[in-house]
Amino acid sequence: MVRIIGFFVGLGFCLVLAIAFFTGAYNHITNPPAETAEKEFHLHPKPLALESNGPFGKYDRAQLQRGFQVFKEVCSACHSLKYVAFRDLRDLGYSEAEVKAIADQWVIQQPSVNPDTGEPSTRKSLPADRFPAPFANEVAARAANNNAVPPDLSLMAKARENGPAYIHSLLTGYRDQPAELLKKFPATKTPEGLHYNPYFPNLNLAMPPPLVSDGQVTYADGTKATVDQMSTDVSAFLAWTAEPKLERRHAIGVAAFVFLLVFSVLTYMAYQNIWASKKRELANA
């Protein structure tokens, strides 16, 4: 009896799934999704070749230092790195003295108030401090950025699909709206204060182009600072901030793979040795 009830319950479940499938397919065919500007004109990120890509990837320290320079001189005016401490920059090849000098360029606001002036107290950053936010609070951030809050960039390369490639494409993707878009979707004209970028999901974003011309940053190592080069370098740097232990993870993965390979070979050899006599006995039986 229980088996019969179970059979009919399973049959009813399969029937409901079939009805749902065919109903959804019929509705999709008879009422296809409406075309939208975002669906038709949104572009996927262009591939970005970084040395950290792939299972054996490693960071290019010189590129990370250039990317940090782009962040410091361009991006840090609006964006924060709240999950990165100044002392973490030693992983980029900076010495302790250089890290202290870099930290000294940032100011941290104290919760206390200066009794003489009534202004918030401040102090120079220390290597143990994390990068401070460029704005005192969300209200100040919105007031300075057309009512938009610039996101923290610490984990941006992990928060977006194809993170480094997305960042690079976004930074180099600013352009005028195509005439075809305005003709087909006239209501999607970019509002005042926003900027058209086909790599952004809804095509318009509040951030103006941060990298506008070659030579905007003068690299310490003499690399020519084209817009594409600066975008690539800062994308690599943000890949590091999102996953600073990537090289260690890759090394552990390779070691684990080698261990499993050797273990598998030894296991097979032990199997052959243990059962060799039994196989001979069965063959002679």
Distance separating alpha carbons of residues 203 and 37, to the nearest angstrom: 8
User: pLDDT for 221-243, tens place per residue?
Assistant: 999 999 999 999 999 999 999 99
Distance separating alpha carbons of residues 163 and 154, to the nearest angstrom: 12
Q: Is 153 exposed, middle or buried (0-12, 13-18, 19+ CB in 10 A)?
A: buried
Give the C-alpha distances (Å, rounded to integers) separating 145 from 89, 134, 178, 212: 28, 12, 25, 18
Under the banding of pLDDT at 50, 70 and 90, the label for residue 246 is: very high
Under the banding of pLDDT at 50, 70 and 90, the label for residue 8 is: confident
Residue 80 has which token pair?
A: 């924060």
Sign of CA dihedral 31, 37, 38, 42: positive
The rounded mean pLDDT for the chain is 88
Binding site: what residues are annotated? Answer: 75, 78-79, 207
Q: pLDDT exceeding 70 applies to what percent of the chain?
A: 92
Under the banding of pLDDT at 50, 70 and 90, the label for residue 112 is: low
Under the banding of pLDDT at 50, 70 and 90, the label for residue 92 is: very high
| Residue 211 reports pLDDT greater than 90 | yes
Phi first, then psi: give them for residue 112, nearest 5 degrees.
-85, 170
- The pLDDT, as a whole number, for residue 116 is 66
**Helical H runs in the chain?**
2-30, 37-41, 61-73, 96-103, 138-144, 156-159, 163-172, 179-184, 227-242, 246-284
Binding site for heme c: what residues are annotated? Answer: 75, 78-79, 207
Residue 127: closest CA among 157, 103, 92, 158 = 103
Q: What pTM was estimated for this model as a whole?
A: 0.82
Tokens 């038709």 belong to: 40
User: pLDDT for 186-210, tens place per residue?
Assistant: 888 888 889 999 999 889 999 999 9
Residue 198 has which token pair?
A: 């086909």
| Type of residue at 183 | K
Distance separating alpha carbons of residues 149 and 284, to the nearest angstrom: 81
Give the C-alpha distances (Å, rounded to integers) separating 31 from 22, 26, 123: 14, 8, 62
Q: Which CATH architecture has domain 38-81+152-244?
A: Orthogonal Bundle (1.10)
